[in-house]
Structure 1
Amino acid sequence: MNALKKQKVFFTRFFVNLFKPLVNNYVNRNIILLIDLIITLIAAKSASFLVATITDTPFNFLKFRWEILVIILVQGICFLLFRSYSGLIRYSNFRDVIKQLQVTTTSVILLMLINFLYALNFGEVITPYAGIVIYGFIAFSFLFIFRLSVKRAYKIIQINKVKAQKAFILGIKPNDISMAEGFISESSEQVEIIGFVNTEEKILRKLIFNLPIYSLEQIKNSSNAPKNIIVSDEKLKELRNSNSDVIPTLLDLKFKIYKLPELQNLAENNKQPSGALKEIKIEDLLQRNPIKLNNEKLFDLYKNKTILVTGAAGSIGSEIVKQVIRFKPKKILLLDQAETPLHELCICLNKFYPEIGYEKIVANVRDKKRLKDVFTTHQPQVVFHGAAYKHVPMMEENPIEALSVNFQGSRNLADLATKHKVENFVFISTDKAVNPTNIMGASKRSAELYIQSLAHKNNHNTTFITTRFGNVLGSNGSVIPHFKKQIRENGPVTVTHPEITRYFMTIDEACQLVLEAGAMGKGGEIFVFDMGSPVKILDLAKHMIRLTGLVPGKDIEIEITGLRPGEKLYEELLADKETTLPTHHEKIMIAQATHEFNETKINLLSNLLELVKTNNADKAIEALHLLVPEYQPASLDEQLKA
């Protein structure tokens, strides 16, 4: 037994040292081609030896006959045609095996054809047909063994350098098995798959690829199990849509959960599975299914158009800019009062979208004269108005500022849009405008009303559209970055109330729906987005703590601080007297308002503007109450009763 072990160690070291130059560096592809040609020569000589043995003819291995040259020449041409030498040998996989098979089969067919034509002309074959077939088998076997040996040697060397992390695959469905096969076939030096974790009720088999299948209960009770698990993007969506508690359970067990993108995305990006692994984030746990856009209609609306985006440097504005680029606009006008974030956005556009034409415009939406210059100079055809003050507690202390930007600024832009014959004006509102209990929400609602009043007039050609959605994950000032900062500082994580809930969607999802709504609007609609189910902020905080490998209430404390001024316990997407109508897009509905824009309502809008201009905060708030009668600052007790 010891002798066998010593032999195994000797041969392992021999192959490692033999192939070390090949696996430690990126070897020139011409060298690989040369090695393949040498293998071809050896295979041809071996085939000649076997044929000579069978036919009982003399054979000299060192003698170089012209027939061998023909075989090498044909095989070399096939190598060049199929470029079978161009991949990294250390990452050879099943696709490379198929390519070598194609190369060898083509070579055999060509050699037989040459043999046949030679026999027609000269009455004899270059080499026996059986010899060509034997050569094909030997050549394929040698080429395959060479690649397998290099790959194995590379794996041994890397294991000696860095110990691979052991991990489970979550699930035993075909996609989960394909993912595991990818890791195993790529022989990743970073990750070693040691088994599967079954999430179904029944286990129909005990082994996959000779790896054991465990139940969730088994890894719960095992103290020696590695704390790494890999989940595919598709599996994550499945668990999320079924409201499964598998992911929360794994997080409670302090598992590090890694996400692998869909397999076709890996193939498109030429990534190895281990290189595409990323730890899951809170966005992965809350994001819904991808949105399907009507790209043809969006191209019709945005292609070759000059598009103005206000608040362009903000999280929503910058994402709208990036998404509208793919519809090939003529030019994008980036308007924002924040100089540094606008500069950073321009750096990003120069790096990733050098082909796009844009103008950077530092301006404040309250300054109508400055805005007039922008419209006169650039003549935008589509406007996305996202500039706004949105921090609820801060706006409670600065109500005139909230009204000045959110109402007056929106009014300035809407008026200029009609005057300069803008085709589409998309106003980005908020769910806080529904039955508002704070100045921020009420100011956005007053802007909605003014934009709807313009939409009801027939003296212009601008299509006015309002979009309304809830909180956006990761946006500037949202709860996610705030919680991340608190967790980095070891807590406590502060939640205003244990029952407070919010609707969430990701930035890309929100902006895609804004673009879609902008294309489907006829004028005057308030589009409401399907935000899914509301999320308890307390649960969100716990999830985020678990994602860092810590335990809520033990490693990081959660502190209840009480509702802030103007903060709602629950948020709504529709007002009490509003109903919704479906659209062709399953995630977009139309909120039908009951407001009539009579003379009284128009006068209230004008009066509010004058009071804002004169900085009369008290009178402006009184006027706001008359314009938005549903604006009722509510106490916590009233909210709980509701």
Structure 2
Amino acid sequence: MSRASYDSQRSRHVARSFLVSGFDLLAVVLCWLAAYQLRFNFAVPADFAHTGWLSLAWVLPLHAVMFRVFGLYKGMWIFASLPDLVRIVRAIATAAVLAVAIVAMLHPIPPVPRSVLVSFPVFLLMAMGGARAAYRAWREYRLYGMLASSGKPALLIGVGDAAANVLRQLHRSSEWRIVGILDDNPNKLGRELMGQCVLGTVDELDVWAPRLKAQHVIVAMPTASNEARKRIFALCLKAGVHAMMVPTLSEMMRGGPRASAQDHGAFREVRMEDLLGRDPVAIDCPHLDGMIAGRTVLVTGAGGSIGSELCRQIALFRPAQLVAYEANEFALYQLVEEFSRRFPEVALVPVAGDVRDALWLDETFARYTPAVVFHAAAYKHVPLMEEDNAWQAITNNVLGTWRVAKAAAAHRVPKFVMISTDKAVNPTNVMGATKRLAEMICQCVQTETQDTAFCSVRFGNVLGSTGSVVPKFREQIAAGGPVTVTHPEITRYFMSIPEAAQLVLQAATMGKGGEIFVLDMGEPVKIANLARDMIRLSGASDVQIEFTGLRPGEKLYEELLADAEQTLPTHHAKLRVAQARCAEPAIVEEALAWARGTRVPPPAEIKRELRRWIPEYVPYQRPNLQVVAGAPRVAEGS
């Protein structure tokens, strides 16, 4: 801003302040005289009228000083609100008390009537507060009054602070128009919130939406349980309306989910994460605090979906240092930038490195001496790792895990946690088999040391992770379709990234050595149904679903336990310990010797060798499914 522009704005501000203070002082004069008129029934005796006019010589300066002291001219009338009214009340009340004291000291003859000293502050408060309220109403009508009948009609679900905030924001919006409120509290039916009536219950959505021609619903219930929100979203799908929601407090604290092009300031699009998500995880904060606070924590794969969320969760427990070990330079840069904004107090140490680099791992462990290691680095995409990249899955998932585990054992790291997958159970693909072999490596290294407690944590798909089906479907819907699903009957387990990271941390506090923890993933979800729900939620009824056939290495369903395994409960309801088949050190040593070889075996040999070391591994055979192969596109969401 130029100096001339700054001076011009300052001059206008001074002029406005002068006009406002002039109005307030005029109000003081008029209210003072009105109090006298009311006291004497509009027939003020001459001597009292004379005293009243003379008293203005000290009443005016007193109020002018109080108005300035209490900052009445810092705010703008167009945004006048409760804090401005509080300042006015304080200024007038203080001036009224001082006025009584001044009258008592001066003893004017005739005296100022006591009724004047009582009624004058009331008149003045009404004049000053009313003028500001009237000005704001007039300006808002001029600016936004024509918007009241414009915009798309929408129903609001919920009655509370969040709903009031939405109504305030949409009052100035030309895009949306609230036509009614629904809420399940019977005591609120027929009541009004900021001029909008509570018409009925949420179960009546399919009645009110067509009656009011509302094709959109805004869910203003950020503190409701996931089950309650799921019920509301199911009703929205049934009624054929497009749902949006007010973000939860935890989302806003985390910066919220990645916004879509249709997100709005006070609310956002409903996502599948809202339908598949679960209530927040209860974690054992004292034990986590004791494990992390004031200590160095190292996370491999720190730039990935799970690794980065682990870093965020760890940061909440005030580690002395957080070492982010990541091979992807850009992902590491993004993590550093995020932490500089959100966690500036956390000493984040970015280390660019590959888990297969034993020399650099040893240097990193020696330099930073971590107390806890979370090993999240891995290749996880099943089809990519199945054929042409099978050897990379071996070197990264198997050899990399072994080298990180050996470095942890050599440097006597107290706790080591490996992130595994449900695809390690009865694996049918190279990726799952390599993760099962990585679990076996951790069990074998555990037998070689008493200083480090090794454990693994298995869970299924995480919503929104790199390569997850949910963002893929979202992009396909935005592009107009088709949404590609491999098979009509394919199912998967889903969990949110924060929930998975929290349970991994919880498992770390419980691991004594050699355990394989299994997370409670809830009920499996049919991917075709998930695609249908996403299409309906988006409002794109013309988007079609196309079944493309199972990809290499892909199963119709995933398991969390192998056939011969059983689980034992823990003190946490969402964590169990798998009684897995014990790894044989000789087999693991043979596998590692082969992985450290000097040639790259063909995919067929890799699968044959994995089958020899992991009996439960049955390599994928592409089924001949007529229902999938060449299946026609199926229109959904209508």
Indicate whether the TM-score tops 0.5: yes
How far apart in 2 are the matches of 1:264 and 1:419?
39
How far apart in 1 are the matches of 2:562 and 2:78?
62
| Corresponding residue number in structure 1 for 2:382 | 392
* Alpha-carbon distance change, 282 to 268 in structure 1, aligned in 2, over 3 angstroms: closer
2:394 aligns with one of 392, 403, 426: 403
Q: Secondary structure at the match of 1:448?
A: helix
The aligned amino acid for 1:298 is L
How far apart in 2 are the matches of 1:443 and 1:119?
92
The aligned amino acid for 1:438 is N
CA contact (8 A) 1:169 1:180 kept: no
After superposition, residues 452-491 of structure 1 pair within 5 angstroms as: 452-457=443-448, 459-491=449-481
1:439 and 2:430 aligned: yes
The aligned amino acid for 1:570 is Y
TM-superposed CA distance for 1:241, in Å, is: 5.1
TM-superposed CA distance for 1:604, in Å, is: 0.2
| Corresponding residue number in structure 1 for 2:223 | 234
CA contact (8 A) 1:612 1:620 kept: no
CA contact (8 A) 2:393 2:434 kept: yes
CA contact (8 A) 2:568 2:579 kept: no
Measured on the aligned residues, the alpha-carbon RMSD in Å equals: 3.7
TM-superposed CA distance for 1:414, in Å, is: 0.5
After superposition, residues 312-351 of structure 1 pair within 5 angstroms as: 312-351=302-341
After superposition, residues 27-106 of structure 1 pair within 5 angstroms as: 37-38=21-22, 40-53=24-37, 54-55=39-40, 56-58=44-46, 59=49, 65-69=56-60, 71-72=62-63, 75-76=66-67, 79-80=70-71, 86-87=74-75, 89-94=77-82, 97=85, 100-101=88-89, 103-106=91-94
CA contact (8 A) 1:525 1:590 kept: no
How far apart in 1 are the matches of 2:297 and 2:190?
59
1:604 and 2:622 aligned: no
* Alpha-carbon distance change, 96 to 279 in structure 1, aligned in 2, over 3 angstroms: farther
Task: Give the gaps of 5 or more residues in structure 1.
Answer: 1-24
The aligned amino acid for 2:425 is V
| Corresponding residue number in structure 1 for 2:115 | 130
Q: Percent identity of the aligned residues? A: 34
* Alpha-carbon distance change, 242 to 580 in structure 1, aligned in 2, over 3 angstroms: farther
Task: Give the gaps of 5 or more residues in structure 2.
Answer: 1-8, 256-262, 626-638
How far apart in 2 are the matches of 1:496 and 1:350?
41
1:563 aligns with one of 545, 550, 553: 550
| Corresponding residue number in structure 1 for 2:366 | 376
The TM-score, its normalising length taken from structure 2, stands at 0.82
* Alpha-carbon distance change, 241 to 268 in structure 1, aligned in 2, over 3 angstroms: closer
TM-superposed CA distance for 1:612, in Å, is: 1.6
How far apart in 2 are the matches of 1:328 and 1:185?
38
CA contact (8 A) 2:244 2:268 kept: yes
How far apart in 2 are the matches of 1:89 and 1:431?
61
* Alpha-carbon distance change, 365 to 264 in structure 1, aligned in 2, over 3 angstroms: closer
* Alpha-carbon distance change, 344 to 204 in structure 1, aligned in 2, over 3 angstroms: closer
| Corresponding residue number in structure 2 for 1:450 | 441
TM-superposed CA distance for 1:295, in Å, is: 3.0
Q: Secondary structure at the match of 2:549?
A: coil
1:358 and 2:348 aligned: yes
CA contact (8 A) 2:464 2:497 kept: yes
CA contact (8 A) 1:472 1:505 kept: yes
CA contact (8 A) 2:420 2:456 kept: yes
Cα deviation code 1:32-86 (max 9, x no counterpart) = 8766654543343234213433242444798673331464056326624xxx655
How far apart in 2 are the matches of 1:153 and 1:314?
53
Moved more, 445-454 or 155-164: 155-164
CA contact (8 A) 2:493 2:558 kept: yes
How far apart in 1 are the matches of 2:98 and 2:567?
69
* Alpha-carbon distance change, 535 to 424 in structure 1, aligned in 2, over 3 angstroms: same
The aligned amino acid for 2:596 is K
CA contact (8 A) 1:501 1:534 kept: yes
CA contact (8 A) 2:419 2:458 kept: yes
1:512 and 2:499 aligned: no
* Alpha-carbon distance change, 350 to 204 in structure 1, aligned in 2, over 3 angstroms: closer
CA contact (8 A) 2:163 2:220 kept: no
Cα deviation code 1:610-641 (max 9, x no counterpart) = 112224455554443343222223657799xx
How far apart in 1 are the matches of 2:577 and 2:13?
62
Q: Secondary structure at the match of 1:567?
A: coil
Moved more, 368-377 or 499-508: 368-377
TM-superposed CA distance for 1:311, in Å, is: 1.0
* Alpha-carbon distance change, 146 to 296 in structure 1, aligned in 2, over 3 angstroms: farther
* Alpha-carbon distance change, 137 to 121 in structure 1, aligned in 2, over 3 angstroms: closer
Q: Secondary structure at the match of 2:316?
A: helix
How far apart in 2 are the matches of 1:635 and 1:245?
37
CA contact (8 A) 1:604 1:623 kept: no
How far apart in 1 are the matches of 2:290 and 2:268?
37
| Corresponding residue number in structure 2 for 1:628 | 614
TM-superposed CA distance for 1:98, in Å, is: 5.2
Cα deviation code 1:559-598 (max 9, x no counterpart) = 01111121111112222333333434333x122314335x
* Alpha-carbon distance change, 99 to 529 in structure 1, aligned in 2, over 3 angstroms: farther
2:403 aligns with one of 402, 412, 430: 412
How far apart in 2 are the matches of 1:540 and 1:96?
50
2:192 aligns with one of 205, 208, 217: 208
How far apart in 1 are the matches of 2:131 and 2:253?
25
Q: Secondary structure at the match of 1:526?
A: strand
2:561 aligns with one of 562, 574, 594: 574
* Alpha-carbon distance change, 165 to 287 in structure 1, aligned in 2, over 3 angstroms: farther
After superposition, residues 247-258 of structure 1 pair within 5 angstroms as: 247-250=236-239, 252-253=240-241, 255=242, 257-258=243-244
| Corresponding residue number in structure 2 for 1:7 | none
How far apart in 2 are the matches of 1:185 and 1:51?
37
How far apart in 1 are the matches of 2:362 and 2:276?
41
1:218 and 2:207 aligned: yes
2:172 aligns with one of 145, 169, 189: 189
Cα deviation code 1:364-399 (max 9, x no counterpart) = 212222222222233222211111011111111032
| Corresponding residue number in structure 2 for 1:19 | none
* Alpha-carbon distance change, 301 to 74 in structure 1, aligned in 2, over 3 angstroms: same
